[in-house]
Amino acid sequence: MLYVDRMDEAKRALVDPSKPVYVYMQVADHIAEEIATGRIPKGARLTGEREMAAEYRVAIGTIRRAVQELRDRGLLVTLPAKGTFVTQQPPVNDATEV
């Protein structure tokens, strides 16, 4: 199952470079919230880095750091030549705490 999110302008507004939080953390927190609420289900494959960078209007390096953050949190796993997949659903409060 491929997760393809067609982001609208409201979602793009979630990444605000003027906030005192790193942009990669804003992206990671948004994806974590999408996982926590079930919009991105367990086992779902995320879109590629280039597409995510275009959706969030950030650099690919920012997406890579966000994905690494989510791997560190245990929410994602990346399989070479296969993609990045959701490994678990966090409790809803974990995504909103950060």
The backbone torsions φ and ψ at residue 95, rounded to the nearest 5 degrees and listed phi first, read -70, -30
Residue among 31, 33, 29, 27 at smallest CA distance from 15: 27
Domain ranges (residues) in the chain: 9-97
Q: What is the pLDDT of residues 33-74, one digit of tens each?
A: 999 999 999 999 999 999 999 999 999 999 999 999 999 999
pLDDT score of 21: 87
Q: Which CATH number fits domain 9-97: 1.20.1260.10, 1.10.10.10, 3.40.50.620, 3.10.20.30?
A: 1.10.10.10
Average pLDDT over residues 8-27: 76
Residue among 46, 54, 39 at smallest CA distance from 1: 46
Give the CA distances from residue 69 to residues 1, 6, 8, 10, 27, in Å, rounded to whole numbers and listed in that order.
23, 23, 24, 23, 10
Interatomic CA distance for residues 55 and 71, integer angstroms: 20
Angle of CA points 53, 58, 11, to nearest 5°: 80
